[in-house]
Amino acid sequence: MIFRLFRGSANRRTVERLHGDIVAAVRQPAFFVDYAVADTFDGRFELLALLSTLVVRRLARLPAPGPDIAQELTDKVFQSLDDDLREMGVGDLAVPKRIKKLAAALLGRRKAYDEALESSDPAALVEALARNVHANGLAPDDPRTPRLGRYVRAAENALSVTSLEILINGPTPFPAAADIA
C-alpha cells in the first residue's frame, strides 16, 4: 500500500481536481444552514460520502480511463480522511482503526445510495438520506430531507450528461445547494 502512494499516475491532476470540487461542494454553507446537515466531522463525512458516490458512479460508467479515475478518486478520499484525522490529533496507532471504520461506512453509504438511486421507489433516496446524513434524528418527512433528495437528484442528473472530457478537465457540475428548493 505504501508504494501506491509514491506511484505516478497519469490521472493525478484530474483526481486532485475532482476531489477539490467535491470538497468545495461539501463546504457549501446551505447544506449546514438550510439542509440541517450537522456542521461536524461526521456531517461533512456524510456529505463527502454522498457527493463522492455520485461522481464515482458516473466515472465508473464511462469508458476508460473513467473507471480507473473512479478508483483513484476513492483512494484519494481515503487518503484525505487519513490526513484529516491526523490533523485533528488522532494518534498514529488509532488512525488505521478509524480509517477502517470510515471505509466500511463509506462503502456502505455508496451501496445504500446506489440502491436508492436505482430504485423505482422515490422514497428510497429520502429514507437513505434520513438514515445517514440526517442520522441526528431528522424525520424523513421533515422538508429538509426531501430537499436534500432533490439536490442529490439534480446533481445526479447533471453528472449523468457530463462527458469524460468535462470530468477530466472540470469543473464538476455540482448544483448550488442554495438554489434547490
Segment 35-60, tens digit of pLDDT: 999 999 999 999 999 999 999 999 99
In the chain, what is the greatest distance between 2 CA atoms, to the nearest angstrom? 47
Residues 118, 121, 123, 125, Cα dihedral to 10°: 0
d(CA 66, CA 96): 28
Segment 98-117, tens digit of pLDDT: 889 999 999 999 999 999 99
Residue found under cell 456542521? 39
d(CA 148, CA 19): 21
pTM over 0.85: yes
Of 16, 12, 40, 13, nearest to 26 (Cα)? 40
